[in-house]
Amino acid sequence: MPYLFTSESVSEGHPDKVADQISDALIDNFLAFDPSSKVACETLVTTGQVVLAGEIKTDTYLDVQKITRDVIRKIGYTKSEYMFEANSCGIFSALHDQSADINQGVDRKVENPDFETLANAQGAGDQGMMFGYATNETDNYMPLPLDLAHAILREMSQIRNNELELMPYLRPDAKSQVTIEYSDDDQPIRIDTIVVSTQHDDFADDETMLAKIKNDIINIVIPRVKAAQKAELHGLFTDNITYYINPTGKFVIGGPHGDTGLTGRKIIVDTYGGKGAHGGGAFSGKDPSKVDRSAAYATRHIAKNLVAAGLCDQVLVQVSYAIGVAKPCGLYVNTYGTSKVDMHDGEIAEKVAAIFDMRPYAIEQRLKLRNPIYSETAAYGHMGRKNEIVKKTFGSNGQTKEVEVELFTWEKLDFVDQVKAEFGL
């Protein structure tokens, strides 16, 4: 029997995403000036106020207030009527040294450092389980409902930042949601419902405002989203889609003034929109010694390469750790019955574990995670993004540094040939 599946996304101006972007900007600046930094930074944003809290072990000093204000300004909170504005908001920092009890399990010293000894010495920064997922229903191996939900808000962000004449009333805060009907064999049939709520300037007449926003979303944003999809998905955009555009009506009060934002509250938006599974650990504000982040990227890397190699149509990969221990507690693979090889999922997991070294140090090295690459992950999802090399400039407290980094390394299909060879594909 056909079924419906829904995923949501939020814009870079959503208060929780504001918090994520501040936390990850701090991570990037610490790593730019001291790649060995250990950071766990939580951010709270509310009316006219930012609170930074967390634990840090680093040899550098940063102007955290300037970094925070730069992030808020870039997002678009630059007007006093937003009640949260880059130049005037208060910033309180409660960042302090990392616990030596935690650090001792991560930074073990070795007499003759080489890859193997370091890989065995560096334990996981915490216990827990992490999941990666991939599906062949989109070109970027992401679930279609989430991919479309992200695409809607990215188009609106593009308009707000670069083509404001098209929708001059847009403000930074927005949410989207897409419901898709699937067939019995898990193929998308049609888009059932699209929900968009966007913060906007005040209108003299609320009814005129609502009609204008709804018309612009349906006739400007959605056609651009459709045009960006591969041709075989265009048929999903029918005239029978149910639209809920700003369904509560007026949405002038938004951002951190409308709702308090916290780092790590959008973990499903950050990953797979509810498909697969999630271990519960957030990403933003954590350096790669925290396996909540690094191992989640590594399992996505595995899952994407397995599907791209043709091993299966979709797959879930789980890894788990004990704090301070390098070797994972276990690796689990679930192909949902879509495997193309004559093996049980447990046998597939054994082969996968032999291909991909999942010790924390090995993950950091393989995916180049000790680089300032995290600000780009903090809005519109950590997975399904474009792998590219960019130059970034960091400046704080009189220091300036330009670095070339590779973004979204966990999206590379660099193990496809090895997977094919191992499984005889």
Are 66 and 150 found together in one domain?
no
Are 191 and 335 found together in one domain?
no
Q: Check residue 97 and give its pLDDT.
A: 77
Distance CA(183)–CA(169), nearest Å, equals 39
The average pLDDT across 319-326 equals: 93
Q: Domain of 204?
A: 3-9+144-253
Are 306 and 386 found together in one domain?
yes
Are 274 and 394 found together in one domain?
yes
Distance CA(102)–CA(108), nearest Å, equals 11
Are 203 and 174 found together in one domain?
yes
Distance CA(298)–CA(363), nearest Å, equals 7
Distance CA(103)–CA(124), nearest Å, equals 10
306's enclosing H/E stretch is helix 291-308
Task: List the binding residues for ATP.
Answer: 14, 173-175, 250-251, 259, 265-266, 282, 286
Task: List the binding residues for L-methionine.
Answer: 55, 98, 259, 290
Number of structural domains found in the chain: 3
**Domain with 19 in it: what CATH number?**
3.30.300.10
Q: Check residue 117 and give its pLDDT.
A: 59
Are 246 and 316 found together in one domain?
no
Among 196, 225, 253, which residue terminates a domain? 253
Q: Name the band, by pLDDT with cuts 50, 70 and 90, for residue 395.
A: confident
Are 101 and 77 found together in one domain?
yes
258 vs 76, 173, 174, 241, CA distance in Å? 15, 10, 12, 29
Q: Confirm whether 261 is domain-assigned.
A: no
DSSP SS3 for 204 = coil
> What angle is formed at CA 100 by the lines to CA 96 and CA 104, rounded to 5 degrees?
140
Q: Confirm whether 200 is domain-assigned.
A: yes
Lowest mean per-residue pLDDT among 89-103, 187-201, 329-343? 89-103
Q: Confirm whether 81 is domain-assigned.
A: yes
pLDDT above 90 (res 110)? no
Are 308 and 344 found together in one domain?
yes
Q: Confirm whether 122 is domain-assigned.
A: no
Q: Confirm whether 120 is domain-assigned.
A: no
Contact in structure between 198 and 147 (CB atoms under 8 Å): no
Nearest CA-CA partner of 235 in 290, 278, 190:
190
Q: Confirm whether 24 is domain-assigned.
A: yes
State the average pLDDT for the chain: 93
Q: Confirm whether 373 is domain-assigned.
A: yes
Give residue-wise pLDDT tens across range 234-289: 999 999 999 999 999 899 999 999 999 999 999 999 999 999 999 999 999 999 99
Q: Confirm whether 118 is domain-assigned.
A: no
Instruction: Write the DSSP assignment of 313-375 as a string of letters.
Output: SEEEEEEEE-BT-SS-SEEEEE-TT---SSS-HHHHHHHHHHHS--SHHHHHHHHT-SSS--G
Contact in structure between 11 and 255 (CB atoms under 8 Å): no
Residues β-bridged to residue 402: 393
Nearest CA-CA partner of 405 in 376, 361, 371, 364:
371
262 vs 14, 45, 193, 364, CA distance in Å? 10, 7, 28, 26
Task: List the binding residues.
Answer: 14, 16, 42, 55, 98, 173-175, 250-251, 259, 265-266, 282, 286, 290
Task: List the binding residues for Mg(2+).
Answer: 16
Q: Check residue 118 and give its pLDDT.
A: 60
Are 219 and 362 found together in one domain?
no
Distance CA(244)–CA(251), nearest Å, equals 14
Give residue-wise pLDDT tens across range 361-371: 999 999 999 99
Nearest CA-CA partner of 208 in 237, 170, 172, 250:
250
Task: List the binding residues for K(+).
Answer: 42
302's enclosing H/E stretch is helix 291-308
Give residue-wise pLDDT tens across range 3-23: 999 999 999 999 999 999 999
Nearest CA-CA partner of 95 in 121, 73, 71, 65:
65
Helix axes 360-367, 291-308, angle to 10 degrees: 60
Are 349 and 281 found together in one domain?
yes
Contact in structure between 20 and 8 (CB atoms under 8 Å): no
Would the pTM count as exceeding 0.85? yes
Helix axes 416-423, 345-355, angle to 10 degrees: 130
Are 80 and 207 found together in one domain?
no
Distance CA(238)–CA(192), nearest Å, equals 9
Q: Check residue 115 and give its pLDDT.
A: 52
The average pLDDT across 376-395 equals: 97
Are 248 and 346 found together in one domain?
no
Q: Name the band, by pLDDT with cuts 50, 70 and 90, for residue 55.
A: very high
